[in-house]
Amino acid sequence: MFTRFSDIDRLFGTMNLLQKKLDNLYSDYGKPSTYRWSLEETSPRTNLYENGDNFEIRAEVPGLEKDDLNVRIQGNYLEISGTRGSDAPEGYKAHKRERGIGSFSRSFTLPADVDSSKVEATLKDGILYLSLPKSEAAKPKKITVG
């Protein structure tokens, strides 16, 4: 029996990929979290920053247009959702698909309430930038002692 080395390399590559997925799946064992596989494939990766009176969020949404995104905020609850369509040209057959397609939704509970009337959203180079000003009630106030 003769086996090509490329077949063996492919087998070990698949085994390594499975091992990495299992390592990621169980690295947070015992911590309250969701499975990483579903998050990585559909939801945008995000960063949350705080700058004095504002929160700033940056979410990776490559290939999406502003019409594909929905952003909702109520108090300190933020939800980013949208739909990714297939980018395969018409008539083409997909042999490998790593970029997720379909609907996604990501929600956050922010550390403080946000003034929803002053929220600004910008989409540039596949990154959604959100500027979320804190509500007046959430801002610290200096009290003078009399």
CATH number at residue 60: 2.60.40.790
Burial class (CB in 10 A: 0-12, 13-18, 19+), 82: buried
| 146 located within any domain | no
CA distance 93 to 95: 6
Mean pLDDT of 12-19: 81
Q: Do the Cβ atoms of 103 and 83 come closer than 8 Å? A: yes
CA distance 56 to 93: 40
For CA atoms 52, 54, 60, 63, the dihedral sign is: negative
Query: Can you give the residue range of the structural domain that contains 29?
Result: 5-86+99-138
67 has a pLDDT exceeding 80: yes
Phi, psi of 138 (to 5 degrees): -85, -15
pLDDT 10s digits, 112-136: 899 989 999 999 999 999 999 998 8
| 93 located within any domain | no
pLDDT 10s digits, 70-115: 999 988 899 999 988 877 888 888 777 777 778 888 888 999 899 9
For residue 109, give the nearest of 84, 127, 132, 128 by alpha carbon. 132
How many independent structural domains does the chain possess?
Answer: 1
pLDDT 10s digits, 24-52: 776 655 555 444 444 445 678 899 999 98
